[in-house]
Amino acid sequence: MFDVDTARYTTDDIDIDPEAHELVIFPGGNGDWYVQIAPQGERASNGVRITTSGTRVDGLANAIADAYHAIKASKRATLKKPSK
C-alpha cells in the first residue's frame, strides 16, 4: 500500500469513467499539505504543496485540512457500519 497517511476520494463520475481518478490529500512532515490527482488505487507523481505559512490564498490550508479530515472520518464511518 502507501507509506503516507493519505485521504483518497474517488471521483463521483466512477459510473461513467472506466479509468477513475482519486483526489489524494496527505500531510507533510513539516505541517504542509500535498494534494494530487491519481489513477484509482495508484500513486501520484505530480501535485501541489500547500504551505501552512505564507500561502497566497487565505484559508486554503485550513480548507484542505478540513477536506482531509472529512474524507478520513467518512472512511472510518464506512468501516464501522454493521453488515446485514
Domain count, the chain: 1
Taking the C-alpha atoms of residue 84 and residue 78, their distance in angstroms, rounded to an integer, is 14
Q: What SS3 class is residue 62?
A: helix
> Pseudo-torsion of CA 33, 70, 22, 51, nearest 10°?
-10
Reported as a single tens digit per residue, the pLDDT across 34-79 is 999 998 888 888 899 999 888 789 899 999 999 999 999 997 766 5
Give the pLDDT band of residue 81 (cuts 50, 70, 90): low
Is the residue at 1 inside a domain?
Answer: no
Is the residue at 19 inside a domain?
Answer: yes
Domain that holds residue 50: 7-80
Is the residue at 2 inside a domain?
Answer: no
The alpha-carbon radius of gyration of the chain (Å, integer) is 14
Tell me the β-bridge partners of 25: 7, 35
Residue 45 CA to chain centroid, in angstroms?
Answer: 14
Is the residue at 59 inside a domain?
Answer: yes
Is the residue at 46 inside a domain?
Answer: yes
Q: DSSP E strands: which ranges in 11-68?
A: 21-27, 33-39, 47-50
pTM above 0.85, yes or no: no
Report whether 24 contacts 47 (CB < 8 A).
Answer: yes
Is the residue at 48 inside a domain?
Answer: yes
